[in-house]
């Protein structure tokens, strides 16, 4: 804990104390005298000759102690004001205002843990949350920092903040989703926590801001990272409406290559589990992928993701393989091969797909044109 933070905390405490004393002196001097008389006698100061040495504490412990002391101070402040009969509205008005920008700048000097501490300290201050989250976006890309933030309680904190601000702050919602996407990348512990604690909040954020293209893309990135190598999260995403959220984004941004490509990526990830693959098919994911491939047939990356998604659905079960085969996948896959012979993902996944669904496909001699039977 640096000296500037300590001084700021003491200054705020003195302001709170003075406000309480002023109100009590005016409204209830008897209560003021009673409180003063009940105060404990302070212990004598430690002399400079004393050999007392405080036990060292870590930066994380100091930050936690700082946040807890401020919360205790606030509780005492409000309780005393209520006891003095002060109107609730005046409680808010008389609370010292904070400079959100300066608070976050000061906290950022202590690194990512400092930012988490200031977020814990001011959970209802939208500007503090938004500014802190924006600074955490690049920091959370670092693997060691991802692990540190996950262990320090950032994930449940973001869940709480999204519930507080998701309806009123598009910025908080978007920056939270971007941080969560970074935290979930190649970190199994973080993926498990996010899947259990924050998945519903992520999907709600996508629902609340359907026109924000970047937020939708980042939301689907979180789903990709959560589902990667985690069948548990794949099923959670499918069960809690994640497939529908992806399809809503596709429908709302039909002309966006970025959205359609990211959506195909998200669907192929979720469909990697056979249970989740059924949900992808039943919610309309196969048709959405085929439509994206037709609308952007010149985009090799999207074609690769699309065929991969169809392939994963088809491998879910024999019934799903038949469903994929009978709903236009062979023709679209052949078209992708024709348009992108040099794209490795297109060629390899198309071959894999056709092997899987081949027995359900009528033979053709040209793309999309059935062979005439003699």
User: Could you tell me the CATH number of the domain that includes residue 365?
Assistant: 1.25.10.10
In a domain, 97, yes or no: no
* CA neighbor of 172 nearest in space, from 226, 215, 118: 215
Q: Which domain holds residue 262?
A: 237-374
pLDDT digits (tens, 9 = 90+) for 168-182: 899 999 999 999 999
Q: Evaluate whether 108 touches 136 at the Cβ level (below 8 Å).
A: no
Residue 30 pLDDT: 73
The two tokens of residue 254 are 């039909």
Q: How many CB atoms lie within 10 A of CB 331?
A: 15
In a domain, 30, yes or no: no
Q: Evaluate whether 302 touches 266 at the Cβ level (below 8 Å).
A: no
In a domain, 173, yes or no: no
Residue 368 pLDDT: 43
Residue 362 pLDDT: 73
Q: Evaluate whether 199 touches 237 at the Cβ level (below 8 Å).
A: yes
3-class DSSP state of 364? strand
Structural domains counted in the chain: 1
Residue 374 pLDDT: 34
Q: Which residue has better confidence, 62 or 98?
A: 98
Residue 167 pLDDT: 84
Burial class (CB in 10 A: 0-12, 13-18, 19+), 87: exposed
In a domain, 218, yes or no: no
Q: Evaluate whether 181 touches 190 at the Cβ level (below 8 Å).
A: no
In a domain, 241, yes or no: yes
Residue 194 pLDDT: 98
In a domain, 45, yes or no: no
With a pLDDT cut of 90, the percent of the chain lying above it is 68
In a domain, 12, yes or no: no
Instruction: Say yes or no to pLDDT of 1 above 70.
Output: no
């Amino acid at each position: 804990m640096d000296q500037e933070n300590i001084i700021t905390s003491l200054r705020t405490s003195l302001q709170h104390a003075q406000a309480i004393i002023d109100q009590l002196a005016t409204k209830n001097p008897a209560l003021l005298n009673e409180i003063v008389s009940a105060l404990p006698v302070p212990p004598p100061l430690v002399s400079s000759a004393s050999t007392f040495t405080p036990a060292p504490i870590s930066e994380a412990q100091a930050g936690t102690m700082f946040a807890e002391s401020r919360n205790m101070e606030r509780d005492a402040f409000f309780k005393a004001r209520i006891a003095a009969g002060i109107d609730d509205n005046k409680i808010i008005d008389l609370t010292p205002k904070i400079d959100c920008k300066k608070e976050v700048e000061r906290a950022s000097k202590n690194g990512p843990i400092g930012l988490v501490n200031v977020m814990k300290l001011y959970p209802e201050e939208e500007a503090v949350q938004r500014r802190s989250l924006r600074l955490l976006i690049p920091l959370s890309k670092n693997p060691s920092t991802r692990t540190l933030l996950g262990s320090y309680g950032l994930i449940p904190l973001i869940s709480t903040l999204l519930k507080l601000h998701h309806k009123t702050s598009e910025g908080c919602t978007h920056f939270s989703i971007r941080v969560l996407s970074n935290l979930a990348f190649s970190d199994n512990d973080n993926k498990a926590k996010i899947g259990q604690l924050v998945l519903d909040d992520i999907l709600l954020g996508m629902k609340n801001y359907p026109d924000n293209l970047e937020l939708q893309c980042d939301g689907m990135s979180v789903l990709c990272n959560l589902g990667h190598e985690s069948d548990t999260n794949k099923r959670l995403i499918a069960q809690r409406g994640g497939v529908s959220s992806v399809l809503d984004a596709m429908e709302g941004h039909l002309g966006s290559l970025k959205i359609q490509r990211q959506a195909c990526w998200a669907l192929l990830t979720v469909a990697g589990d056979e249970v989740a693959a059924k949900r992808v098919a039943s919610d309309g994911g196969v048709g959405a992928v085929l439509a994206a491939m037709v609308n952007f047939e010149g985009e090799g990356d999207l074609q690769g993701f699309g065929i991969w998604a169809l392939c994963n659905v088809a491998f879910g079960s024999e019934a799903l393989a038949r469903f994929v085969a009978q709903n236009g996948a062979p023709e679209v896959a052949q078209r992708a091969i024709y348009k992108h012979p040099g794209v490795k993902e297109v060629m390899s996944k198309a071959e894999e797909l056709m092997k899987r669904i081949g027995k359900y496909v009528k033979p053709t001699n040209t793309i999309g044109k059935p062979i005439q039977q003699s």
